[in-house]
Amino acid sequence: MKIAIVGSGALGLYYGALLQRGGHEVHFLLRRDYDAIMKNGLTVHSINGDFYLPSVSGHKAPDTIGPVELVIVGLKTFANNSLGDLIKPLLAPETQILTLQNGLGNEELLAELFGAERIIGGVAFLCSNRGEPGHVHHLAAGRIVIGEYQRRANVRLERIASDFTSAGIDCRTTVDLKKARWEKLVWNIPFNGLCALLQQSVDRLLKVPHCRKLVRDLMIEVITAANKQSLSQDIAEKFADGMLEFSDGMGEYKPSMQIDREEGRELEIQAIFRVPLEYGSQQGVGMPRIEMLAVLLEQL
């Protein structure tokens, strides 16, 4: 399968590298890492075993890639205004678009730009960071859950999941993409928000009892709002406890928003905070802790 990676950060580089190693024709749209990868290849440092790709198809513009079968979008959501220009040259009549971006609202935007029938949503439970240019570090997890933006037969989902699994990616399908998105927010909202605000890694937050309780309280606010969104099944409160236990094993992990703040980049506040807050408000659900966290992040 010919695949284009739009947004070759830690997520895009990691999954793209696995897909290339698995035999797919992968084209990376690169910025910061272009010169290093073109000269020295791409190195993946992974808990599942390191590997090296000496030759990678890297591009500075989508026009040199041309039409592909699958576009994987890993772009930071604050750059979504560039999606039209970045994806349009990659489209053929049957091209599918899979967004693995954080937060809510990404499928809706892509559907408006390119047609709802092309759009597949995905939630990546991945702990990864970029190192020096040309290096990506996979620290934990890696599972992807994919679902159709529009309800339709699962045939293409199963095909993509099979291709991903064959490449070494734990990929599963869901009939309730909305639920999968909200489940990811149960982790993303408290940890991305608090770690960015306080400039402390996940393990440091969890070591302090009052911070740990605040993380759980934020998770419960997300779950309460999620369960008013007509999900196929409610998210149980114990899901928060499972997320805390999972996070205990991460060690000194810095979420992406903390790294973005450290490196002076814009923060993904709209997709991760403001859109979920709006969905909660529409259903009469107050999320005061999350609202306060969003306001404080906006002041940064």
189 and 147, same structural domain?
no
237 and 149, same structural domain?
no
159 and 282, same structural domain?
no
104 and 231, same structural domain?
no
139 and 7, same structural domain?
yes
Residue 135: beta bridge partners?
43
Catalytic residue numbers read 184
153: left (phi over 0), alpha (psi -120 to 50) or beta: beta
284 and 204, same structural domain?
yes
106 and 55, same structural domain?
yes
State the pLDDT confidence band at 5, using cuts at 50, 70 and 90: very high
State the pLDDT confidence band at 150, using cuts at 50, 70 and 90: confident
199 and 118, same structural domain?
no
Last residue of a domain, one of 175, 198, 215: 175
**Average pLDDT score over the chain:** 96
Name the percent of the chain lying above pLDDT 70: 99
pLDDT surpasses 80 at 151: no
What phi and psi, each to the nearest 5 degrees, are found at residue 39?
-85, -40
199 and 157, same structural domain?
no
Each residue's pLDDT tens digit, 26-78: 999 999 999 999 999 999 999 999 999 999 999 999 999 999 999 999 999 99
Last residue of a domain, one of 144, 160, 175: 175
124 and 98, same structural domain?
yes
**DSSP 8-state assignment for residue 160:** H
Sequence-distant (6+) residues with CB within 8 A of 248 are 203, 206
pTM, two decimals, is 0.95
Sequence-distant (6+) residues with CB within 8 A of 63 are 89
Last residue of a domain, one of 132, 147, 175: 175
Helices (H), the chain: 10-21, 34-40, 83-87, 106-114, 155-166, 177-198, 202-207, 209-226, 238-248, 256-262, 269, 275-282, 288-298
Higher pLDDT, 131 or 183: 183
Per-residue confidence (pLDDT) for residue 154, from 0 to 100:
73
168 and 202, same structural domain?
no
Range of the domain at 120: 2-175
CATH number of the domain at 229, please: 1.10.1040.10
Per-residue confidence (pLDDT) for residue 153, from 0 to 100:
67
> Domains in the chain: how many in total?
2
**CB of 107 closer than 8 Å to CB of 99:** yes
Per-residue confidence (pLDDT) for residue 276, from 0 to 100:
98
Each residue's pLDDT tens digit, 90-128: 999 999 999 999 999 999 999 999 999 999 999 999 999
180: left (phi over 0), alpha (psi -120 to 50) or beta: alpha
157 and 188, same structural domain?
no
pLDDT surpasses 80 at 152: no
CATH number of the domain at 32, please: 3.40.50.720
